[in-house]
Structure formats: structure tokens, C-alpha cells
Homo-oligomer: A and B are copies of this chain.
Amino acid sequence: MNENEIVAKLRARFPRIGDDAAVVDRQVITTDMLIEDVDFTRAVALPRIARKALAVNVSDIAAMGARPAYAVVAVGLPEWADIDALDALIEGFAEAAKELAIEIVGGDLSRAEKLILSIAAVGTIETRPLLRSGARPADRVYVSRPLGGSAAGLTVLQRGALPAAYAAREAAESAIRRHLDPEPEVALGLALAAIPEVTACIDISDGLSTDLHHLCDASQCGAEIERARIPVFPGLQSLGVNVADAVLHGGEEYALLFTSSLREAELSARVKRPVYAIGRITSGREVTLDGKPLEPRGWDHFARH
């Protein structure tokens, strides 16, 4: 296949692609790159990888309290990616863009040794941006949903076999979906941005411990959280993983971690869904779990090499 054929294919699916740059007029921009054998393997179907690449960018927009608007997609295609693979990627991006309510308006294609999906996404701020830096002492620390599923799903995938027991099997499949098919919290982010008492927000991409440190660093504060209050992904206990590690340090959750002076019942009522208070912001600079220091042991692309 040559570039013209590829461009024709892209245009058929994304009619706004075509000029050197695309015309937009929006307000929040982010970028995330996924690389084969670093962020995913070829064992995962290409449309699913495409969806994940888009979803993690949309999650960044959600964490800002903004509405997804536009994205541009740069793809590095390895030799093994034939025309069917390209079709699968394009179809995956098109479906995911529809589901995630974001429009792909431009892109770039290169040859590469590994599959690379690099996306930049733009979102519209409807009320105000949610920053990491607004947390204040005595604010409550919240997470948007039960944690640990993504890390457990990755472990199950790496094992290569599902548990035999029915209930564990269900939990395993659901954990794998949490890992492979992230659900960005767009509606929640927009709702939180509209509530003045919400003070800071981040999405949990590196793991609760690491992202809580990020939020506290940006806000120049500390936090004390309680293990017993952190909601745990349903069935996590049946999957033979270290539950505490998965919940505290597991990355790629794409839940929101945020702070507010409002109580849990009040905030849940305002956003019309459960949110989970797991602790408090403090005026010191320490981050603690049940009174002991909580080290940032989540994902760090560079420390492991």
C-alpha cells in the first residue's frame, strides 16, 4: 500500500482530515503516546489498542473538568502492520471517537519498528479548569470508583489463563476490561468543575499513591488516607493478586482523584452518583496511609530501567 491509499482510507472515515492542520477553537490540550511492547503487546486486538490510546487522552481532559472536542493521531506503523491491520486501527479509532464523543481532525503516519500511537486531544472548558494545584488543608480526598481492577486485569492477562471458578472468572474478565478498555470519567469531571467547593483533580494513571503525591506536590500540601475507606474493585480478592498493592499502587485506573471541602453524602448528591472520601488534605507535606508514610510506588516509566 502507498501513502495515498492510506490517506484516502483515513479521509473516508475522518472527513476533516486533509489540510496541513485542522481548524479548531478550543481550550484544553493534552498528549499521550502508547508504544508496542511498552504499553501494550500484539496479543491485544488493534481496535482495542486504538480505543485505549484515545481513552487515556480523553481521561486527561476529564481530569481537567473539560469536554472532549478534537484529537490528532500520529501513528508509527511497523512492517507487520499490513492493510488489514491499518483498517482495524482506523476502524478502532473511528468507533472509539464516536463512543468517547471526540472528533479526530488530523493525523500523521510514519514507518516505525514498533507500533506507536501518539495522540493529542483538545477539550472545551465549560465552567473552569480543574487543576492539581487547588487542594487545601482539611479538604476531603476522593476517588471516583473502586480501584485495583486495572492492575489485577494486567496480571491475569500476563498469566495467560482465567481462573476456573465461575465468580473469579467473572471478576477476572471484568478486571481485564478495566485494564484494556479504560472508562474516562468525562461526565463526572464536568460535574465537579461546576462545583466551586471542588478544589483539585487528577486522573489515576500512575497509581493512587503516585498520583496523590502529584496532587499534593502541586497543591503544596500533604494528605492522610485510610486503607479501609478506599473502595476495592469487585472480586479483586478472588484473583490471587496482592490486593493492597493493586489498590494503592496499580496504574492505568483512569478513575478521578480529587479534593473538596464537601462531605461525601453532599458531594455524591450533587454529582448524582457515589464518590468515595478516602481521607483528608493536611497542611504538612507528608502523604500517609493509616498514619504511616505512603511512598509513591505506582508506575514510573523510567525508574524501572
Task: Tell me whether A176 is interfacial, beta carbon within 8 Å.
Answer: no
Bound Cα distance A28, B26 (Å): 9
Selected contact of A29 from candidates B3, B38, B120, B203, CB within 8 Å: B120
Please provide the 9 A-B residue pairs with the shortest distance between their CB atoms, ordered closest to farther: A120-B120, A21-B30, A118-B118, A20-B60, A31-B72, A2-B303, A33-B74, A20-B63, A21-B28
Task: Tell me whether A123 is interfacial, beta carbon within 8 Å.
Answer: yes
**Chain A interface helix/strand/loop/mixed:** strand
Selected contact of A118 from candidates B33, B60, B63, CB within 8 Å: B33
Q: Which of A107-115, A163-171, A221-229, A287-295 binds B?
A: A107-115
Q: What residues of chain B lie closer than 8 Å to A1, measured between beta carbons?
A: 302
Q: What residues of chain B lie closer than 8 Å to A70, measured between beta carbons?
A: 29
Please tell me if the beta carbons of B31 and A106 are within 8 angstroms of each other in the complex: yes
Please tell me if the beta carbons of A38 and B112 are within 8 angstroms of each other in the complex: yes
24 A/B residue pairs, CB under 8 Å, sorted by A: A1-B302, A2-B300, A3-B300, A18-B218, A19-B63, A20-B60, A20-B63, A21-B28, A22-B28, A22-B29, A23-B64, A29-B29, A29-B70, A29-B106, A32-B74, A33-B118, A35-B110, A35-B112, A74-B118, A77-B302, A109-B302, A111-B305, A112-B116, A113-B114
Please encode chain A, from 85 to 122, with 1 for each CB lying within 8 Å of some chain B CB and 0 for all others. Answer: 00000000000000000000111111111101010111
Number of interface residues of A (CB under 8 A): 69
Bound Cα distance A289, B302 (Å): 53
Nearest-Cβ distance from residue A254 to partner chain B, whole angstroms: 11
Bound Cα distance A260, B120 (Å): 33
Bound Cα distance A21, B123 (Å): 9
Task: Tell me whether A280 is interfacial, beta carbon within 8 Å.
Answer: no
Please tell me if the beta carbons of A302 and B29 are within 8 angstroms of each other in the complex: no
Nearest-Cβ distance from residue A64 to partner chain B, whole angstroms: 5
Task: Tell me whether A25 is interfacial, beta carbon within 8 Å.
Answer: yes
Please tell me if the beta carbons of A21 and B64 are within 8 angstroms of each other in the complex: yes
Bound Cα distance A73, B31 (Å): 7
Residues of chain A in range 267-288 having any CB-CB distance to chain B below 8 Å: none
Bound Cα distance A62, B59 (Å): 30
Given A2-B303, A218-B18, A302-B2, A28 and B23 contact (CB-CB distance below 8 Å): yes
Q: Nearest chain-B residue to A27 (Cβ)?
A: B25
Please tell me if the beta carbons of A3 and B302 are within 8 angstroms of each other in the complex: yes
Bound Cα distance A27, B25 (Å): 4
Task: Tell me whether A235 is interfacial, beta carbon within 8 Å.
Answer: no
Given contacts A20-B132, A33-B108, 13 further A-B contacts (CB under 8 A): A19-B133, A20-B61, A21-B64, A23-B129, A24-B28, A24-B122, A25-B25, A38-B76, A72-B120, A74-B118, A74-B120, A109-B301, A122-B122
